[in-house]
Structure 1
Amino acid sequence: MRKICLIGCLLICSALSLKAQINTGRFSGMGRGGATNKPDTSQHSMPPDTLTLRYYFLGDPTPHTIDSSANDFSKYLQMPASYHTLGNNGNAAQNLIFTPRMKDGFDPGFHSYDIYQFNHDNARLYHTTRPYTELQYLVGSKQEQIIDALHTQDRGERINFSFEYRKINSPGYYQNQSTNHNMIRATVRTLSQNKRYHTEVSWYSNKINSGENGGIKSDTFLTNSRFKDRLTIPVNVGGPSSQQNTLFGSSTMNVKSAYKENSILFSHGYDWGKGDTIHINDSTDYYKFDPLFRIQHTFSYSSSQFEYVDNQPDSAVAYYSEHYDFAPVYTGTKLDAMHKWSTLSNDLSVMQFPLRGSQSQFIKLGATFETIKGSFPDIEMKFTNLMLHGEYRNLTRNQKWDFQAKGDFYTAGVNTGDYSITGSLSRYLSRTLGNVQLLFRNVNTEPGYAYRFFQSTRQTWYNYGLTKQNYSQLSFIADNPKLMYNLQVNYYIFNNYTYLKDFYHPAQAPLFNLLQVTFNKQIVIAKRFNWYMDYAFQQFQGNTPFHVPAAWTRQRLTFEKTLYLNLNLVTGIEAKYFSPYYADTYSNLYGLFVPQETTKINLNSPEVAAFVNFRIRSFWAYIRGENLNTFFAKNNYTAPMYADPNFVLRIGLRWAFVN
């Protein structure tokens, strides 16, 4: 606590005296309704404190800009507000707004830590007129620390590289829930001098280490004055053994989930088209090349390891016997479950751009061949897949209509018969009416492999008879920046949805539906007071074992004002609430959430937080007190026997530098 107070004092003093020398607010992007990218300004003609910065995702021509707002802490934490963990930042996390995995193809099946990890889908390929660096540091109660670092720069006009690092380290409030995650990612984008040959490279490495305690043994401990220090409350797994957790050193966790993933993607292509030399002035000519046809090859290699290890399983004999039918538990030997996978993929595609000068309209056809290897404590296996895919995209020149149709189909291999079809139509109406979108998606896929085969040093489970899952999604989305609201209506149809019916037995649910409505709205109450509302309504229909809160909401009341010309202040309170429901429990050995119908989670009180955020040009700071409700009510639960921590104080800093 002394460390947090010291950092807070330094933060406030620096905010009052800081005169920022840079300004990252000059971001250009592609807008709707005829708005286009502003032309890049050369470094010699730009003021020394500005830059133009945008980024793209792999395979998506739409440019994006960095969010520089200061009013939503969930963006700093890089976890949506609707997610909850098992009690500590970095533990297994689940979205209270039901979000099925809508992907086909091979799937190892472990996704409880996806929200923390880097992948190729969220990799950013940057373009910047100046080297840009962003640093973020957060320190919280119980020595919680988060470090984020980003650097990107262009080397000349044809090369850009970026580097990202993210660290999550949090000992937690309860026994054996310590976390220590490290994520690294690098991207490179190059373009030849004649602009015909281009490459994109994405590499990442994720290391997840999360303590698993099986929850507390009884909720009576939360109201017992002897256990005000939550670290003394007995837990189901791991016992009262000590654990060591250092920021950059090795962390000792007797019971943990340890996930490792490394992947590299290399994509390169050659374009045929037409080029012109544009005369700008007497000393400057610009060569413009418009591709008409492209051939592209993409290579990727991924290796992953999903492991659960308990070095002292004898301390949890009753827990393992009850939930996993381990009898007897062998004295002196650790419990270990490990899945290792490696995937080698090669894709060859051709693309045509019908409209010269627009890469937002294209037709793409291709084929992908995969080799997949699995390794377990006792056996190994090998698969192959052949997948055909196609895509059509058309963002009209006036940028009012955006149509996309995409599909892939597995014609041979272990995933034969898997397919995915997506179609979306978006229309910009006007500044008053905003943008509307219709979306359809249908996915047919094999269940995750963890449901079909799971091996540990105690038992091996073979699960035969699981059939392909089929999911359909119909969505209507309305986004209105002028009226400051976003509405999304989702209707899902599920057939053979695979889940765990207890801690280790899989099952598939018959046909059922889900209606889901989310609504976000900002209301300006007065000149400087704002009310931010987030709502979600959900209802299952049909015979289903799944449960979600029928209603979830987050309400933020803020005071926002600009002081001393450059200091943007945002302060206020935040409250979250969800209706009572049968929250999923958690199978720590599998690393999967499990539906249950015996324990209903009721909030003892809404989750309340108070915050002060401010920004001075390219410097952000935030001070946040969470779980204020624990001062007058018992800790809330996120899952059966998994309780929220006590009051948490978090202080964070974020800097952006332009070189």
Structure 2
Amino acid sequence: MKYIIGILFVISSFTINAQIRSLGSGVGGFNQGINRLDTISNDEINVKLSGKTKFTDYKIISFKKDTSYIDTTLTIRKDYKFNFRRKDNFELLAFQNQGQTFNNLGYNFRNISQFPDIGFTGKQFNYMQIEDIDYYRVPTPTTVIMYRTGQEQGQVLDALFTFNLSKRFNLSFAYRGLRSLGQYRRSLSSSGNFRSTLTYSTPKDQYRIRAQVTTQDFVNQENGGLTTQALENFLTNDPNFEDRGRLDVNLTDSESNLEGIRVYADHNFKLFSSKDTTNTKNFTNLKVGHILHYESKEYRFGQSSLDTDFFGDASKSSGGIDERVDYNLINNQGYLEFNSKYILGKFKVKANYTTVNYGYDTIHNGNILVNRSRLKGNAISLGADWNGRIKNFKVNASANLTPGSGYLAGNHFSGEAMYKKDSLFTVKGSLLLTSKAPRFNTLLFQSVYNDYNWDNNFTNIDTRNIGFSFNSKWGNASLDFTNIEDYVYFDSDNTPKQFDESITYLKVKVSKEFKFFKNFAFDNTLMYQNVSSGNAVFRVPEFVTRNTLYYTGEWFRGKPILVQIGGTFNFFTKYKANAFNPIVNEFTVQNDTEIGFPSVDVFFNARVKRTRIFFKIDNITSSFLSTRNYFSAPNYPYRDMSIRFGLVWNWFI
């Protein structure tokens, strides 16, 4: 695949990546960077610039080609997103150390990829997908830096630099490095996300290209949770173990690592066009294009010595292990795109040729007969996209059909209709119908440990989702109804199974902020969930809530500083949350332990010019509890009270 890696600007990007990584030697290893540059609507922008530039000149273009602007305001949404993922974690339950995995408090089935992935989902919460990468257009070089302290020792630093060589040629480079020791033994997290993008168009916009290159790595020490005795010491709040490093853990020398590299390029040539954009002609802006998507991932699990007490019998009696599995996907798409008055917008027809290769180079276990060491496949798929608009009403639809019986066979249809009434409200309905193979690590897995070897022939998973959203100045609400057939999960014996019944999942979420006494606000988000069938294998808490009471005010003469002071109450009802298995890095069904607890975080945030400063005390309620009952997963305690701070800094040269 050297010819693929050599295209575009990959060589130069990797050179810059290597230079950045060499500066951060504390970041170990090789994961929906700066995911969104904190973008909001035009009337909330606070970028003050001199000269002829305006804030609207500093554009951020999403993967779906929606445009927003760089934002330096301080809002409560910024507090929710000030974490190492740069995303709101409302539907996720974090483990004690940043950079570790998350348990799910809710699920989103509105966006599902067309083809199956490698799996090991416990390591992919911070893996940046194609859709997570933004593109830019800026009149002057622009930099954004985020810094945040870690747990015990360490920090996370996320830096972006973007500039335009001309009005039509933009480059961006970004890197996120994380290293955090954690409060418990063997909980070190270390990761790196490098991203680079390119956008270019010819003077008359006849040829256009956008491309991205990412390299990502995630290293975690795996401790397997607390031992039985350590768990008792934690629950009873034994004063001898207030230093969490004194608590024993199940694994003392295990480590997991996920590495990924991606090259993505979308370029097209306009065969003929018209300056008339009102569809007075039958067909305009006819383009022929090509998309290349190359993705490679490798998962590794290593131990310096076997631990048969935790993982069971092994095919050898001593020594360490270093087990590796890799995954490669190459997708080439050719398309023809045009505008037409007959379809009220833009239409694209497309054809894909896709190859996939997953598996092992060596046999890890000679005692267990696994018929295959690799899963390979290739397929041709056909599809179309439609983007239509009538005044304030928009419709988007996408369809792909991949015939055959291999690992890539299936179908994928998504559609949404949206109506926007000025700035008053927006109503959106969405539909998703998809059928695809399960993730590859549920189909084939090998290990020295005898219980972790399987070769399955599961059928495709069929998912149907209907969603509705309402956003307005009076509040926001969303409803999702999902039906899943042939759902694949990890059972309590840590092996993958296919559920032979239907799963019916309802999720309703509402949010509203109340403002009072001029400087005070009360922001609320409530989520209700119900699994009417299939709750034996698909489990979520019934209620999840987040309530934030805070004060916002400008201080001192001349109002040089804006402060935000408040507290956030988080709570979810008790449910039998999935357990975490470190060797497969997946969450498994368990039937013994219920978790669910309240927590309160206190924060003091401030903005000075273009710098936002964040100071937070996590889980302050833990210091008042006589019994410690807060867990992220069975045997994995949630974090104790901890103090962290950081900042986000913008430069506009």
Normalising to structure 2: TM-score of the pair? 0.84
Contact 1:476 1:490 in 2 (8 A): yes
Partner of 2:467: 475
Alignment partner, residue 578 of structure 1:
572
Alignment match, 1:617: 609
SS of the residue aligned with 1:597?
coil
Partner of 1:183: 193
Note the aligned Cα RMSD (angstroms).
2.7
Match of 2:103 in 1: 94
Unaligned runs of 5+ in 1: 1-23, 32-36, 239-253, 278-289
Contact conserved, 2:442 with 2:456, CA < 8 A, in 1?
no
For residue 116 of structure 1, give the secondary structure of its aligned residue in structure 2. coil
User: How far apart are 1:141 and its partner, in Å?
Assistant: 4.2
Distance 2:82 2:423 in 1: 29
Counterpart residue identity of residue 62, structure 1: D
Q: What residue number does 1:349 align with?
A: 335
The match for 2:652 is 658
Question: 1:453 touches 1:461 (CA, 8 Å); kept in 2?
Answer: yes
Choose which of 81, 96, 107 in structure 2 pairs with 1:75: 81
What is the alpha-carbon distance in structure 2 between the residues aligned to residue 451 and residue 93 of structure 1?
Answer: 20
Matched, 1:139 2:132: no
CA contact (8 A) 2:358 2:440 kept: no
Quote the Cα distance in structure 2 between the aligned partners of 1:26 and 1:148: 16
Is structure 2 residue 523 aligned with structure 1 residue 532? yes
CA contact (8 A) 1:521 1:533 kept: yes
Counterpart residue type for residue 75 of structure 1: K
Deviations, residues 186-232 of structure 1 (Å, cap 9, x unaligned)? 00000012210011111001010011111101321212221110011
Partner of residue 368 from structure 1, selected from 352, 355, 362 = 352
CA displacement at 1:320 relative to structure 2? 1.2
Q: Which residue of 1 aligns with 2:160?
A: 150
Q: Offset of 1:67 from its aligned partner?
A: 4.7
Deviations 1:466-491 (A, max 9, x none): 211111111110000x22x2100111
> Which residue of the partner structure matches residue 294 of structure 2?
301
2:532 counterpart of 1:541: yes
Alignment equivalent of 1:334, drawn from 314, 317, 320: 320
Quick check: 1:127 aligned with 2:137? yes
Identify the residue that residue 14 of structure 2 maps to in structure 1. none
In the alignment, what sits opposite 2:69?
65
Q: 1:89 aligns to what SS in structure 2?
A: coil
Which residue in the other structure is 1:201 paired with? 211
Aligned equivalent of 1:517: 508
Q: What is the identity, as a one-letter code, of the residue corresponding to 1:387?
A: S
Report the number of matched residues.
582
C-alpha contact (below 8 Å) 1:162/1:188 kept by paired residues: yes
1:490 aligns with 2:480: yes
Structure 2 matches for 1:213-252, cutoff 5 A?
A: 213-218=223-228, 219-222=231-234, 223-238=237-252
Deviation at 1:43, TM superposition (A): 9.2
State the Cα distance separating 1:27 from its structure 2 match. Answer: 8.2
TM-score, L = length of structure 1:
0.83
SS at match of 1:115: coil
Structure 2 unmatched ranges of 5 or more: 1-36, 277-282, 364-372
1:622·1:653 contact (CA, 8 Å) conserved in 2?
yes
Does 403-412 or 443-452 show the bigger shift? 403-412
Question: 1:55 matched to which residue of 2?
Answer: 60
Q: Distance in 1 between matches of 2:380 and 2:163?
A: 37
**SS of 1:112 mapped into structure 2:** helix
Q: 1:557-568 maps to which residues of 2 (within 5 A)?
A: 557-563=549-555, 564-568=558-562
Residue aligned with 1:194, SS? coil
CA distance in 2, matches of 1:340, 1:350: 33
Describe the SS at the equivalent of 2:441.
helix
Deviation (angstroms), 1:29:
5.9
- How far residue 87 of structure 1 moved from its aligned partner, in angstroms, is 2.1
- Which residue of the other structure, out of 560, 575, 599, is the alignment partner of 1:607? 599
TM alignment of 1:316-465, pairs within 5 A: 316-321=307-312, 326-327=313-314, 330-331=317-318, 333-354=319-340, 361-376=345-360, 377-378=362-363, 379-396=373-390, 398=391, 400-412=392-404, 414-415=406-407, 417-432=409-424, 434-459=425-450, 461-465=453-457
Q: CA deviation at 1:30?
A: 12
Identity %: 18
**Structure 2: distance between partners of 1:167 and 1:513:** 39
Change (3 A) 1:597 1:25: closer
Contact in 1 for aligned 2:613/2:648 (Cα 8 Å): yes
**Separation of aligned partners in 1, 2:488 and 2:41:** 44
What letter corresponds to residue 251 of structure 2 in structure 1?
Answer: V
1:312 aligns with: 305
Distance 1:500 1:129, change over 3 A: same
